[in-house]
Amino acid sequence: MIEVRGLTRRYGDVLAVDHLDFTVEPGKVTGFLGPNGAGKSTTMRIVLGLDRPTSGTALVNGRSCAALAEPLREVGALLDPGSAHPGRTGRGHLRVAARTNGIPPRRVDEVVEEVGLGRAARRRIKGYSLGMRQRLGIAAALLGDPGVLLFDEPVNGLDLDGVRWIRGLLRRLADEGRTVLVSSHLLSEVEQVADRLVVIGRGRLIADATTEQILDGLGDVRVRVRSAEPDRLLAALRERGLEAHRVDARELRVEGSTAEEVGELVHSLHIPLHHLSEVRNSLEDAYVELTDSSVEHRGGRAATSGAAR
């Protein structure tokens, strides 16, 4: 378990983390979300004992990570895949980490196999692609078979096979009863695997709830319906007080209703139906709504080809 209580971190005049409180429970994948500069990396570094808080605490299984004699046996982390010495081989990097944490050498072979490095583990890290560095970083996180794991952008640089693999790995780790915290900007990936979400902005807690609760908080689902008689259907929907809009020549979008209700109406009117589905709000929709006031860096309007020179 990870417990963050009243966590605050200042860098001069910059308040990176502002009285943050949340708990990451075992047996679940917890997504850690927020805009750039929200304080996610700072928080994870403090949890790992790599940085000191100005005030408050961040505990792993009731203790400070900095106080652990063999930290890799209790907590594993992927923060910066580029931090490994480029002159070492992947296997050599893992062997050094194993030796300093009292981990038997055979465990190196096990994690190399688990992350799919294979023969690449014998090559020097300076020749690794970003995806290979990610796999090496994940292998290092798994090395001590820890009960607590933190991953910062774990799918960065991975190909499709690697993305599918990391999804399965995160789910398996949580199902084994481990505590799993994942920070990522790829919200579609987080939505597929996270049981719970902790969302922060400007160093403060914005939301701490299950993924389903956050998605449900956006309101009713939308219904898409395609018909050969869209005008007649649109008029019938509006007569019943439903908010309906035309999407194109044959498709309508209905707010505040369900597919069952729209389907029953279509059936009662004997209107030919070509498509009927519910469109649920995505995590991206929820994230944008939650963090809109906390975004510090926004893209400007793209220049057009007809701009004056």
Q: Parse the chain into domains and list their residue ranges.
A: 2-216, 222-284
Q: What fold does the segment set 222-284 form as a domain?
A: Alpha-Beta Plaits (3.30.70)
Mean pLDDT, residues 63-80 taken together: 91
Q: In three state form, how does the secondary structure of the chain look? A: CEEEEEEEEEECCEEEEEEEEEEECCCEEEEEECCCCCCHHHHHHHHCCCCCCCEEEEEECCECHHHCCCHHHCEEEECCHHHCCCCCEHHHHHHHHHHHCCCCCHHHHHHHHHHCCHHHHHCEHHHCCHHHHHHHHHHHHHCCCCCEEEEECCCCCCCHHHHHHHHHHHHHHHHCCCEEEEECCCHHHHHHHCCEEEEEECCEEEEEEEHHHHHHCCCCCEEEEEECCHHHHHHHHHHCCCEEEECCCCEEEEECCCHHHHHHHHHHHCCCEEEEEEECCCHHHHHHHHHHHHCCCCCCCCCCCCCCC
Q: How far is CA 76 from CA 19, 104, 139, 196, 236, in A?
A: 25, 16, 9, 20, 58
Instruction: Please say whether the beta carbons of 171 and 19 come within 8 A.
Output: no
pLDDT at 257: 84
Instruction: Please say whether the beta carbons of 117 and 139 come within 8 A.
Output: yes
Measured CA to CA, the distance from residue 141 to residue 77 in angstroms comes to 5
The confidence band for 11, taking pLDDT boundaries of 50, 70 and 90, is very high
Instruction: Please say whether the beta carbons of 142 and 74 come within 8 A.
Output: no
pLDDT at 293: 66
pLDDT tens by residue, 193-251: 999 999 999 999 999 999 888 887 655 578 999 999 999 999 999 998 888 999 999 99
Residue with tokens 């995505």: 282
pLDDT at 160: 92
Does pLDDT of 159 surpass 80? Answer: yes
pLDDT tens by residue, 24-65: 999 999 999 999 999 999 999 999 999 999 999 999 999 999
pLDDT tens by residue, 244-280: 999 999 999 998 788 999 999 999 999 999 999 988 7
pLDDT at 308: 40
Does pLDDT of 92 surpass 60? Answer: yes
pLDDT tens by residue, 106-155: 999 999 999 999 999 999 999 999 999 999 999 999 999 999 999 999 99
CATH superfamily of 2-216: P-loop containing nucleotide triphosphate hydrolases (3.40.50.300)
Q: What is the mean pLDDT of the chain?
A: 90
Does pLDDT of 296 surpass 80? Answer: no
Instruction: Please say whether the beta carbons of 258 and 266 come within 8 A.
Output: no
Equal fold, 2-216 vs 222-284: no
pLDDT at 4: 98
